[in-house]
C-alpha cells in the first residue's frame, strides 16, 4: 500500500517537472481613440495581442558531444483584437481587416468601428457600413446599396449584389493594398 501511494506521488509529480517544449512570445498593443462631439467625449479602446509559439525540437545527437543543437521549427502566430466600445461592451475580432482597398481605380479605407467596419471613400468622404453576420460574412450598406460581403483567402473584400431586374448576382472585388 505504501509503495502504491509513493509510486502515484512520483508519477504525478513527474508531470510538473518536465522541460519546456515551446518558446512563447506575447506582444500587446493598445490604441485609444477619443472622439469629441455634442454628447461629450467617447473613447474606444483597441487591444491587439499577438502570440507567437514555436515548438522546441532537437537535432540528432552527435557522438562525444555534450550540447545538442536546436532544430529550426516553424513559428505559429495568432493575433486577437479586442475592441472596447464607449458604452463598455467588448467584442473580439480574430483578424483585423483594417486596411486600404482599391476598386475601379479608387482607394477606400476600411477601419474597425464599434459594431463592425466602416468603409470610407477618402475623396468624397462617403461612408458605408460592414456588419458581421453569423455566417462569417458581412452586410454592406451605404446610402444607395445593400450587398453581402466577405474576405477571400488573399484578404480582398468581395461584395455580391442581387439585381431584381436581371435576376443575377453581380460581384465587385476590392483588392487589398499591400504596403
52 against 147, higher pLDDT: 147
Instruction: Express each pLDDT in 112-122 by its tens digit.
Output: 887 788 999 87
CA distance 85 to 35: 12
Cell 519546456 found at: 20
pLDDT of residue 14: 55
15 against 5, higher pLDDT: 5
> 137: helix, coil or strand?
coil
Q: Tell me the average pLDDT across 154-165.
A: 91
Residue 6 CA from chain centroid, whole number = 48
Residues constituting the chain: 179
Which phi and psi angles does 88 have, rounded to 5°? 100, -10
The domain segmentation of the chain, as residue ranges, is 21-59+68-96, 99-176
**Average confidence score pLDDT of the chain:** 82
Whether residue 174 contacts residue 161, with contact meaning beta carbons closer than 8 Å, is answered with no
Neighbours of 125 (CB within 10 A): 7
- Examine the pLDDT at 59 and tell me if it is beyond 90: no
CA distance 158 to 160: 7
pLDDT of residue 161: 94
Amino acid at each position: 500500500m505504501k509503495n502504491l501511494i509513493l509510486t502515484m506521488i512520483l508519477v504525478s509529480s513527474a508531470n510538473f517537472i518536465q522541460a519546456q517544449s515551446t518558446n512563447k512570445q506575447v506582444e500587446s498593443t493598445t490604441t485609444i481613440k477619443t472622439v469629441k462631439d455634442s454628447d461629450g467625449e467617447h473613447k474606444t479602446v483597441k487591444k491587439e495581442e499577438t502570440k507567437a509559439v514555436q515548438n522546441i525540437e532537437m537535432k540528432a545527437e552527435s557522438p562525444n558531444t555534450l550540447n545538442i543543437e536546436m532544430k529550426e521549427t516553424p513559428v505559429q502566430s495568432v493575433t486577437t483584437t479586442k475592441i472596447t466600445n464607449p458604452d463598455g461592451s467588448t467584442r473580439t475580432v480574430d483578424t483585423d481587416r483594417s486596411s486600404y482597398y482599391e476598386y475601379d481605380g479608387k482607394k477606400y479605407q476600411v477601419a474597425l468601428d464599434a459594431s463592425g467596419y466602416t468603409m470610407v471613400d477618402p475623396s468624397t468622404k462617403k461612408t458605408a457600413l460592414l456588419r458581421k453576420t453569423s455566417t462569417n460574412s458581412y452586410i454592406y450598406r451605404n446610402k444607395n446599396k445593400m450587398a453581402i460581403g466577405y474576405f477571400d483567402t488573399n484578404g480582398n473584400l468581395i461584395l455580391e449584389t442581387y439585381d431584381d431586374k436581371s435576376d443575377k448576382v453581380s460581384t465587385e472585388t476590392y483588392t487589398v493594398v499591400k504596403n
